[in-house]
Structure 1
């Protein structure tokens, strides 16, 4: 379903006028069973529609029935022996089921009065007689084409089969033919269904259709086994929204249901597991409370409550398999046909478990991102023209993460273009705290400082780098890198590209770097990692680095914006004669040549003057090796197009990785301590010889 249709489905119950819509064949049950059922529903306080009481005389009956159907929360279909003889009833049945497909939260309850579901499903006995009668009437009337009539009959039969397969109530099975008792049970069932509150979901459902469809196909695969699915992905990607939507669409097809939210958070609280067990028991027993005093007793009570029921159970935000064991015991005592949905940030949570489907929630694509953001930022599905250029920056920043699109979009709603520009500049420098809080849960869930520090190293220095090279470097830094990377992948914090490079969602990268920034917000030299070129330059220029610093990147081309200088490097050395020749060659109209040449010559002189000023500034950017004197723990160093003045013995001897593009010297100085180095990258440098003399590695 598209976004509009999905939204209408989720909010349909808020527009309901009636609690119950009664569909029945009047000739069979209007003055008997249906009349008694209608009275019982009214006495129970349920506003119930039936055609003879509710349609005002003179109104179009068909349109009024359609309107009443769309404004009802529950449709009761009373199947009787003569039901299928009524074309009106069969047409109404088709409309009821079509309405349910468009609004899946609407409940349809079949009542089998003196017939069995198999008779309805197979069109047997009186239902077979009814279709034979319709065939005879068609031959007599001959008012429609044969194909049109055949299609209509097939539609009726398909509707009967679909309705018979719904969870319904059978007079003979549930009340031994006692109508009064049966009616009481129906009223009680209606009460239970009307008291079921739908879970609230995000206001704009974008990109969920295909994801919901895949989970639904798993739910309805026809398997009678107890099945489990883990919906996993990074924080804010929409796991809970997906689980809620699937739950809302399907809980009515199960005998019992429960949605346990925030399992990770609640289980960490005092008596948290008992609280979760009590909620599950209450949900399964439809509100009945059971006293339990410890986890083992709770597991036994849950087993007793669920062993005889098909259950739809959702456990949201599970962080560790022990949480499942402490709530459920995790034994296979659910009744066959039960389904268990688990949401988690942990990809490896139940990967080794047999018959457990793993479903990864991917980020939104470009069109989905634009649509979701537009709803929050503009209140419509498409952007306002004046903001289109800024949208590229916003969507790049959010990286297809629904949470970020929602938060950033809402914060910019109704703001001017200038405010947008300022807000985006701030976002790119300081990440949004709400988004960071959600993403940081995954980081905090890592089991030890080893994996946390490994994540921070990757976030600052190794995104886009080859996995094998990264492992070699970080193993020498004291990490158990291979298993550490696997742990990060398992927590959806890192991914591996098709060409075996380490990748990370941009907002996760920003989260990691913000953790580092918060180590010392105002004094970058006291942070453990420096990846911002401006911060690195300021620290080195002011000799503000401390022994806390373990990694540093400084690219002066990035800092100064020297891409123009690279592009113009050939022109920078051109002489006056070549310039004249260039102008004469490419400017041909003689009557324009003098003025155009004069303008271009003036422009050229401006460029030469600009580069002269650039060269003067370059000389001021030379840094002193004294800046590294206190950085005893520096492991990772990347200096691009940086010139250092002073003795190289002042650089730390703990370096494991050195990248120095544009290294200015022809040889590496003999007093540059590289004994512990495992990776060296000196591309685009002036090196002619690695070093003079003999170096001995101790």
Structure 2
């Protein structure tokens, strides 16, 4: 005996459906069409194609196949009851139906259900051929026929006006629904998927008769593919055709888009003979053929708009009711393809993460008591990333507590390789300048206010606004809103990846790293005078061991951030021993301890100087022109006077709460570029007549000033025609000065 099977998915049972039928009546007609329709839906079917010789007993293999099937379809026809083989199949089917709860569907083909139930009419005539058989056996057959005929099924002659194709479609739909709790149930290890799927219901709107493309975006390892697969498995039975195309980015680069086009067409039409000779031919063929079926297609891990153009070019390609789901790390790919519905995939909550970790580490969702403390630490390290949680749990499964402890210690210095490999794909696809911005964010700028970060990056020569937007579109950073304004956030593992990229080529030689942020390494490099041209950015704290004069050898340093430290005032920094390399473009040192900048600092390339809350009284001793300086932050300092003729290209000047500021020197023609000026709280400043020279000024803060001289005509708009904001809160300026605003 031979059998044909079609298995596309791993099942709890070996077969989804066992077909019982009389070959003489239906093998080449109804059953053949039913088998093809079930197979087209990816349903795994057992269909006995060659009966043994008449009178031979049913064998053990066939009985086991019945046991190993989830659903039984019994096609009753005129000669079905004449076959002892069929009747013994039916006995076994009804036994499993009653004992194990298997689902059984009777289909009455060219016979009436009552004829099967009562063994009358043509069924009775067929059954009469067993009159010489053992009465006990015949009695069991009668009972099985009666039980099966009483089940809910389909009478082909009385369903869908007798149209067999429509009846078969109804059968396939019902079988698919019946299988869904087995095939499409959310895997118990896919924690949190049910809620995330519900969140996408408003985008999917399966009941609507329109075509929708839905984008799922998020960082690598965040669960996009898992979510898309769960949705696909749950709803694919509602469609006439389906295709899940995994790893589009990787496969397109390796094999080309032609192969992926062929996969979609073959999946949807269940036709492995479809061939494509070129990508444009494939595009035209897809456009022509896909409109004929309501389909669901998942395009997983797309990273370029050309991939979408060739695989899902336009909504008009698809029949109404179709759904195209696209997963990507790059939101811009979706926007470029005019995808209307774009959803972020949410990382796991702490509770979900613990449950998922426990599943992989212990095989259950409950923490083992002796491992609980370490489990929480591993989950904290994973920071909600499903990929990391699964890898950690699987790696720790079966290991004892001491091995868990060692693994945790290792993570403090050696990142998880599997996670970094997935995440770094996003980094590798960046342009070179965007890579530099990413590394600056990872090493220094996470948690900064967005506009502060933009200022730092622009000072160093980057197109910061566009660069940060690209990183956000590629799910490498997020912008979070706060009461004081938006700030930049980056996932812990992306920070870890960025720092690993900086360190890995010269792990034991920090002086050769492009960025330095580890205090002990900075102190060692500077103390040993090992600074090199390789280092571009440094973030340090003032400690007794810091040797600032050796910054002189860091000749390509563009960014220096001196972090405020509570004990910094206890550390005495010799003013004469300070050294800032002339390459510096961005200098941020809040609580700077000296009254002016060191004479050794040429500042020819300085673009931004931020020294808020410092003891500084004047910028230079004597004076020095800084032609490149655009941003000057000296708020809450001891500043007494400032010659703005030394900063002719300044764009933003922050001097709020400089209580000792008496005079600002403005020479004719300077400060043509100044767009922002904040003098709030400068209570010793008595005159603002210089404001009339600021022709580009857009924002002016002069609250809480006690001004004796303020140019009324300036505010009429005749002089400053660019002013957009004027902040006067708490000032003593007379009402007459405001009447023309």
Q: Which residue of 2 aligns with 1:246?
A: 231
Q: How does 1:101-500 map to 2 (within 5 A)?
A: 113-116=156-159, 171-172=162-163, 174=165, 204-215=189-200, 218-269=203-254, 271-330=255-314, 332-351=316-335, 356-446=340-430, 448-499=431-482, 500=486
Across the aligned residues of Structure 1 and Structure 2, the Cα RMSD in angstroms comes to 4.3
Q: How does 1:660-679 map to 2 (within 5 A)?
A: 660-661=589-590, 663-674=592-603, 676-679=605-608
Deviation by residue 1:335-364 (Cα, 9 ceiling, x = unmatched): 222111111111222236556311210100
- Once the two structures are TM-superposed, the CA of residue 311 in structure 1 deviates from its matched residue by 1.4
Q: Which residue of 1 aligns with 2:580?
A: 651
Taking structure 1 as reference, are residues 671 and 309 closer, same or farther at Cα in structure 2, changes over 3 Å only?
A: same
* Aligned residue among 517, 535, 559 for 1:531: 517
Q: 1:636 and 2:560 equivalent?
A: yes
SS of residue in 2 equivalent to 1:431: coil
Taking structure 1 as reference, are residues 426 and 631 closer, same or farther at Cα in structure 2, changes over 3 Å only?
A: farther
- Once the two structures are TM-superposed, the CA of residue 465 in structure 1 deviates from its matched residue by 0.6
Deviation by residue 1:477-525 (Cα, 9 ceiling, x = unmatched): 1111111111111000111011200111110111111111124222111
C-alpha separation in 2, matches of 1:680 and 1:90: 88
Contact 1:226 1:335 in 2 (8 A): yes
C-alpha separation in 2, matches of 1:355 and 1:504: 25
Q: How does 1:587-602 map to 2 (within 5 A)?
A: none
C-alpha separation in 1, matches of 2:303 and 2:47: 47
Deviation by residue 1:44-94 (Cα, 9 ceiling, x = unmatched): 48847479756869x9x8994372426x8xx6776999989x99999966x
Deviates more, 1:464-473 or 1:646-655: 646-655
Q: Which residue of 1 aligns with 2:727?
A: none
- Once the two structures are TM-superposed, the CA of residue 406 in structure 1 deviates from its matched residue by 0.8
Q: Which residue of 2 aligns with 1:43?
A: 48
SS of residue in 1 equivalent to 2:418: helix
**Bigger Rg, which one:** 2
TM-score by length of 2: 0.63
Q: Which residue of 2 aligns with 1:563?
A: none
What are structure 1's unaligned runs of at least 5 residues?
1-9, 24-28, 94-109, 118-169, 176-181, 558-617
SS of residue in 1 equivalent to 2:346: coil
Contact 1:22 1:77 in 2 (8 A): no
Taking structure 1 as reference, are residues 353 and 185 closer, same or farther at Cα in structure 2, changes over 3 Å only?
A: closer
Q: Which residue of 2 aligns with 1:522?
A: 508
Contact 1:540 1:623 in 2 (8 A): yes
Deviates more, 1:344-353 or 1:361-370: 344-353
C-alpha separation in 2, matches of 1:355 and 1:345: 14
Q: Which residue of 2 aligns with 1:503?
A: 489
Deviation by residue 1:115-168 (Cα, 9 ceiling, x = unmatched): 345xxxxxxxxxxxxxxxxxxxxxxxxxxxxxxxxxxxxxxxxxxxxxxxxxxx
- Once the two structures are TM-superposed, the CA of residue 260 in structure 1 deviates from its matched residue by 1.3
Q: Which residue of 2 aligns with 1:607?
A: none
C-alpha separation in 1, matches of 2:594 and 2:110: 96
SS of residue in 1 equivalent to 2:324: strand
Q: Which residue of 1 aligns with 2:701?
A: none
* Aligned residue among 625, 631, 639 for 2:549: 625
Taking structure 1 as reference, are residues 505 and 82 closer, same or farther at Cα in structure 2, changes over 3 Å only?
A: farther
Taking structure 1 as reference, are residues 285 and 362 closer, same or farther at Cα in structure 2, changes over 3 Å only?
A: same
Taking structure 1 as reference, are residues 90 and 486 closer, same or farther at Cα in structure 2, changes over 3 Å only?
A: farther
- Once the two structures are TM-superposed, the CA of residue 414 in structure 1 deviates from its matched residue by 2.7
SS of residue in 2 equivalent to 1:316: strand
Q: Which residue of 2 aligns with 1:15?
A: 13
C-alpha separation in 2, matches of 1:43 and 1:63: 18
Q: Which residue of 2 aligns with 1:542?
A: 528
C-alpha separation in 1, matches of 2:542 and 2:405: 26
More helix by share: 1
Taking structure 1 as reference, are residues 443 and 42 closer, same or farther at Cα in structure 2, changes over 3 Å only?
A: closer
Contact 1:237 1:362 in 2 (8 A): yes
What are structure 2's unaligned runs of at least 5 residues?
1-7, 36-45, 51-64, 75-86, 118-145, 628-741
SS of residue in 2 equivalent to 1:317: strand
C-alpha separation in 1, matches of 2:247 and 2:184: 14
Q: Which residue of 1 aligns with 2:723?
A: none
Taking structure 1 as reference, are residues 542 and 382 closer, same or farther at Cα in structure 2, changes over 3 Å only?
A: farther
Contact 1:544 1:627 in 2 (8 A): no
Contact 1:20 1:76 in 2 (8 A): no
Deviation by residue 1:409-444 (Cα, 9 ceiling, x = unmatched): 222223333332332222122211110010011111
Taking structure 1 as reference, are residues 80 and 691 closer, same or farther at Cα in structure 2, changes over 3 Å only?
A: farther
Contact 1:345 1:491 in 2 (8 A): yes
Taking structure 1 as reference, are residues 518 and 18 closer, same or farther at Cα in structure 2, changes over 3 Å only?
A: closer
- Once the two structures are TM-superposed, the CA of residue 307 in structure 1 deviates from its matched residue by 2.3
Structure with greater contact order relative to length (CA < 8 Å, sep ≥ 6):
1
Contact 1:637 1:655 in 2 (8 A): no
Q: Which residue of 2 aligns with 1:130?
A: none
Contact 2:584 2:605 in 1 (8 A): yes
Q: Which residue of 2 aligns with 1:122?
A: none
TM-score by length of 1: 0.67
C-alpha separation in 1, matches of 2:582 and 2:149: 86
Aligned residues: 536
Q: Which residue of 1 aligns with 2:102?
A: 69
